[in-house]
A and B are shown apart, each in its own frame.
Chain A
Amino acid sequence: MGENILENDPMEILLRSTKIISPTLIQYDIGSLFEGILFNCLKKAKSQFDKIILVSFYDSYHILYHYWGSIFSIDEANKLMKGVEIITVYGKYPIEPKAGVRILDVEMTRLAPTIIDIINKNKGKSFLMVITGLDLYAIDRGEETFRKTYPLLMILSKQFKEVNIIVALNKNLISPKTLEFVGNYSFNIADLKVNASNEKISYYMLFKRIAMLEYNLKSWEYIVTERSIDFKERYNNKK
């Protein structure tokens, strides 16, 4: 893929950087339509990784699945999730069987062993582990508990070189101290922002830290449509 194409495809840059080194953090403003970004990210990732594991706290997978079904289409959502292993922790919704999707409901203490088990059963394969709902976890269980849990999950990418991690986390509803803590574990940070002025909303993505260094501090405006996400580079000056 030529560099000109990459300039217009920040999700590709993010995935490539995640392959170079992870964990990767997608931190987002409320209302920044990160669900759409995650959809796009997973869609691209499916052709780049042998196995995708979605670790869902507090039914976040259920919320995302429903949202993707409403915005894009049920077929698209099903197609996206086909072959993805979902591990749900602290879920309350009953698990609805979905064709081609394996959903494992586990206790928190069984989370890491379950992930390790999947990795060991698929030796030699590349993994992308996407973690969602940790913000809901931090709100419900408290940030101190969150700070104890987080490193235990992140260490998996150190322990298993074939495991690449992306975490999606709201950045406004957890304290700056905890956000800094999370940042310390992240080699790549994509910041999703939303700006509302004069009854108009605009969305943009900024690479605050990225393994492909030439894209550090670059920013794109994006629009989520029914079919896709369109990115437009905002500016090149680093600030």
Chain B
Amino acid sequence: MTKGKDVLINAVENAIKKANPTMLNLIKYYLRTNVKSDFSLAYEHPKKFKEILTNLLGEYSTRLLEMIIIKDVIVSLGLSNDFSSLEELVETIKESGE
């Protein structure tokens, strides 16, 4: 696993734990049963990951989580840019080879 992917997955888990720990297992279960995936979906297909979250949590809560995740990853990887979406962030991580 790349460092960037690792950091992103941790950021997703931390954001959900912070937001509502009781949702953590439910989201994991939902990802596993509906798309046969886990939090790595945020790195592999960020748009799809957001769609799954939106189905479960609503669009507004998904945007909140997205902002928290982006902030967390920027700090952890020491990135200087600002990103308006998870897709933009993942693209940059992938391009940088992190």
Residues of A within 8 A of B (CB): 29-35, 60, 63-64, 66-67, 70, 92, 135-136, 139-140, 170, 172-173, 194-197, 199, 201
Closest chain-A Cβ to B26's Cβ sits at a distance in Å of: 4
**Central interface residue in A33, A34, A63, A66, by most chain B CB within 10 Å:** A63
In the complex, the answer to whether B64 meets A135 with C-beta atoms within 8 Å is yes
Closest chain-B Cβ to A77's Cβ sits at a distance in Å of: 13
Closest chain-B Cβ to A88's Cβ sits at a distance in Å of: 15
Instruction: Tell me which of B57, B60, B71 contacts A60 (CB under 8 A).
Output: B60
Q: What's the count of A-B pairs with C-beta under 8 Å?
A: 69
Chain A CB within 8 A of B79 CB: no
In the complex, the answer to whether A136 meets B64 with C-beta atoms within 8 Å is yes
In the complex with contacts A30-B23, A30-B64, A201-B26, A139-B59 CB distance below 8 A: no
Instruction: Tell me which of A63, A70, A173 contacts B18 (CB under 8 A).
Output: A173
Q: How many residues of B contact A (CB 8 A)?
A: 21
Closest chain-A Cβ to B52's Cβ sits at a distance in Å of: 12
Chain A CB within 8 A of B68 CB: yes
Secondary structure of the B contact surface, majority rule:
helix
A30-B23, A172-B18, A197-B22 are known contacts; what are 18 more A-B pairs with Cβ within 8 Å? A29-B20, A30-B57, A30-B64, A31-B20, A35-B58, A60-B60, A64-B60, A66-B59, A67-B58, A67-B59, A92-B84, A139-B68, A170-B61, A172-B20, A173-B68, A194-B23, A196-B20, A199-B26
In the complex with contacts A92-B84, A199-B29, A31-B23 CB distance below 8 A: yes
In the complex, the answer to whether A31 meets B64 with C-beta atoms within 8 Å is no
Secondary structure of the A contact surface, majority rule:
mixed
For A135, the chain B residues whose CB sits under 8 A away are: 64
Instruction: Tell me which of A31, A70, A92, A173 contacts B56 (CB under 8 A).
Output: A31
Closest chain-A Cβ to B43's Cβ sits at a distance in Å of: 21
Q: How far is the CA of A60 from the CA of B63 in the complex (A)?
A: 9
Chain A CB within 8 A of B8 CB: no
